[in-house]
Amino acid sequence: MFKESKLRSIIKSLSWRLLATLTTILIVYIFVGDTKVAFSIGGIEVFLKMLVYFFHERLWEKIRFGRREIKPLVIWITGLSRSGKSGIGRTLTEKLQHQGYKAEHLDGHSIRDLFPETGYRREDVNRHIKRIGFLARKLEEQGVVVVATFLSPYKESREFVREVTARYFEVYISTPATVCAARDQKGIYTRAASGDLANFPGVSSKYEVPQKPDLVIDTSEIEQKDAAEMIFSRIRKKL
């Protein structure tokens, strides 16, 4: 957040008026060839233009044309592990920021790194996601577009986020578990399949498929970059 001081604005206004009026004086002098006339016109212009500018500003203050409030929204990206959520979210956030929007990427992994005590049982996950929803709402209230990428396998907490935020846009990354498992280099899918990891959505626990997502993307067919582009073009009108 930047602020310009009143003094800067005042000095800048004076410097513009000086420069603008000197320009007028110069033009008049070139045409009329009379220094006295040129400076008299300049002298009157200084005051008259300030007055005219003031009324011009007040008039435009009343004209609504072209002025719109940016209503941010919460873009909630849900899907299995290794489905490409984080990458899509990162690209989308950068795109939004590049377009001049305030945007924040909340990512499941980085937040869990900060709160290692967060559990993986159903109630732990639901509680975690609900709190993220609250964080998203607070950011949304401050005019920030939130891009949230969380596995978020349970309907209960996703619905809580939908309720608690003003504008919720749900993106379901529908990439099948087999495709995600093939991409997995850390061996989490193998560990889950062997029974080593309990509560692993899509393998050892259920991923509750969203019933009414605003957008469905399968990253077995679509590149992450294009997926981010798809989401952006869908939400653009909403902003």
Residues of this chain that bind a copy of itself (CB under 8 A) = 1-5, 7-9, 11-12, 15-16, 19-20, 23-24, 27-28, 31-32, 37, 40-41, 44-45, 48-49, 52-53, 56, 60, 65-70, 72, 100, 102, 104, 106, 111, 114-115, 117, 127, 130-131, 134-135, 138-139, 141-144, 164
Torsion of CA 180, 182, 186, 192, to 10 degrees: 70
Choice between 111 and 215, CB closer to a copy of itself: 111
* Contact predicate 76/148, CB 8 Å: yes
Apex CA 71: angle with CA 174 and CA 94, to 5°?
A: 55
- 152 catalytic per annotation: yes
Choice between 112 and 234, CB closer to a copy of itself: 112
Closest CA to 150 of 124, 166, 134, 173: 173
Choice between 65 and 195, CB closer to a copy of itself: 65
In a 13 Å sphere around the CA of 109, the CA atoms on its Cβ side amount to 9
Choice between 127 and 191, CB closer to a copy of itself: 127
Q: Which of 81, 86, 152, 205 is catalytic?
A: 152
State the first-to-last Cα distance of the chain, in angstroms, to the nearest integer: 20
CB of 104 to a copy of itself, least distance (A): 6
CB of 27 to a copy of itself, least distance (A): 5
CB of 111 to a copy of itself, least distance (A): 7
Place of tokens 């920030």: 144
CB atoms within 10 A of CB 201: 20
CB of 180 to a copy of itself, least distance (A): 28
Query: What residues contact 75, with CB distance under 8 A and at least 6 apart?
Result: 92, 145, 146, 147, 148, 169, 171, 231, 235
Largest CA distance in the chain: 96
Which amino acids are annotated catalytic? 152
